[in-house]
Amino acid sequence: MVRQRLSMNPEEYLDSEIETIRPDGLRALQEQKLAKQLDYLFARSPFYQDKLRAAGLRREHLRTLADLARVPLTTKEELRDSQHASPPLGRHACAEMVDVIRIQSSTGTTGRPSLVGLTRRDAEGWTRVTARSFYTQGVRPADIVMHGASLTLFAGGLPVKDAIERIGATFVPVGTGASEKLVLIAQALHANVLHSTPSYAIYLADYVRRESKMDPRDLGIRKIVCGAEPGGGIPAVRAKIQEAWGARVTEGMGNADMLPVIFSECRHQSGMHYNAHEYVYCEILDPESGQVLPIEPGVSGELIYSSLDRECVPLLRFRTRDRVTVLGTSCECGRTGFKLRCLGRTDDMLIVLGVNIFPSAVRDVVSSFRPRTTGEVQILLEAPGPGVKPPLRIVAEFGDGAGPSSELQAEIENRIKDVLTVSSAVQLVPPGTLPRFEMKGQLVKKLYES
Ligand SMILES: [Zn+2]
């Protein structure tokens, strides 16, 4: 009873009604939203008019959330082609340019960025959910947030500024490549929150020790909110960041085409809550069969998003290529949004003799040997993936004072075999050998010409 009363503390939530909504209430709300969004798409999206007609689907075929399973998936490549065929925003854009108040971009792997437009209503939705997500992670009005990430075009930039300001916290746009400035300003302001990638949080701790000759803990950062790559939720990586900073690490996850932060973790650190109830509908697909899987603990697959309230670029069944595992459907915090963890991008996934391996999982195993390792790791690929001929070649740094022992090497290889069920060849190198990245970590090194 006490726990229930505590969890209903109104200060726990930014939008308590939505965040604690019951499943049938959520379904009713989302079906009502979906109906409106579908009316809009059938009337205004040349891209979906064609796509749905080709699939033999008319408006009356799509009445419930479950009916969405009949809609063909939308890929990033289709959006890119659509934008190329009909610049500037593509055949999937449904708003007039005069109604677009901002352009963001989603960087692809191919270099040419794709543009994402927002109407005033879209921007309000982004701010609302992103603010909810940062509030879930414990950001409060009295906090001073150092933004150690890019601001320009990047979905984790200006929309995060809007969200932090909506909460009423103080937003400090330091950006990237400015570690010295970040440390000085954080000290001057007594900043207590850092928003960055997990790679940067690790890099910055090293920087503070090396250049500022300080223990990062003395800087006073007590909350680190991570995003843009998996890592903040990987137990060994999280432990490393928390230990270095004396801070609580939580993570968030979103998508540049859909909404900047759709999932975020509460202070119980048990997976990221679904936070975009009235804006983005989620499905999880079995990667082999393409079937929709029930959202329940232990289920793992590719995350698929559908817009429920978007004016400029509403998307149906958009493939994220994010591979996720559902961790729970309830929480001590009282939020009812299901919780998940992201294992990595399906594009990053390697397949060793039929076994799916995410580079982040390899890092997790190597990190579990700290302090005998530093936790830094790189996978060497001799030929383009995802198929890799065993053994998986891994370079790992031994820890300060540990030395490169053949026992350690064998122990790591054995644990990789136990945990990930693949054989590996581990090469140990001195601490500091592998490159540290300010932005996203690069866990795979290609030894071939691409
Ligand atoms: Zn929670």
Summarised one tens digit per residue, pLDDT across range 321-346 is 899 999 999 999 999 999 999 988 77
Distance from the alpha carbon of residue 377 to the mean position of ligand 1, in angstroms:
31
Q: 12-19 long-range CB contacts below 8 Å, 24 or more apart?
A: 12/333, 12/334, 13/135, 13/136, 13/334, 13/335, 14/131, 14/132, 14/135, 14/136, 14/167, 15/128, 15/132, 18/132, 18/277, 18/278, 19/132, 19/136, 19/273, 19/275, 19/334, 19/335, 19/336, 19/337
Structure tokens at 336: 């009812």
pLDDT digit string, tens, across residues 81-117: 999 999 999 999 999 999 999 999 886 544 567 899 9
The candidate with the shortest Cα–Cα distance to 353, out of 388, 314, 303, 328, is 388
Distance from the alpha carbon of residue 17 to the mean position of ligand 1, in angstroms:
15
Q: Do the Cβ atoms of 285 and 253 come closer than 8 Å?
A: no
Distance from the alpha carbon of residue 266 to the mean position of ligand 1, in angstroms:
5
Distance from the alpha carbon of residue 250 to the mean position of ligand 1, in angstroms:
11
Distance from the alpha carbon of residue 372 to the mean position of ligand 1, in angstroms:
33
- Residue 1's pLDDT is 41
Q: 212-218 long-range CB contacts below 8 Å, 24 or more apart?
A: 212/183, 214/183, 216/244, 216/245, 216/246, 217/244, 217/245, 217/246
Q: Do the Cβ atoms of 74 and 283 come closer than 8 Å?
A: no
Distance from the alpha carbon of residue 248 to the mean position of ligand 1, in angstroms:
14
Distance from the alpha carbon of residue 5 to the mean position of ligand 1, in angstroms:
15
Distance from the alpha carbon of residue 335 to the mean position of ligand 1, in angstroms:
6
Distance from the alpha carbon of residue 352 to the mean position of ligand 1, in angstroms:
35
- The answer on pLDDT for 358 being more than 80 is yes
Distance from the alpha carbon of residue 268 to the mean position of ligand 1, in angstroms:
6
Distance from the alpha carbon of residue 255 to the mean position of ligand 1, in angstroms:
21
Per-residue confidence band for 364, with pLDDT thresholds at 50, 70 and 90:
confident
- Residue 5's pLDDT is 45
* 176 compared with 42, residue with greater pLDDT: 42
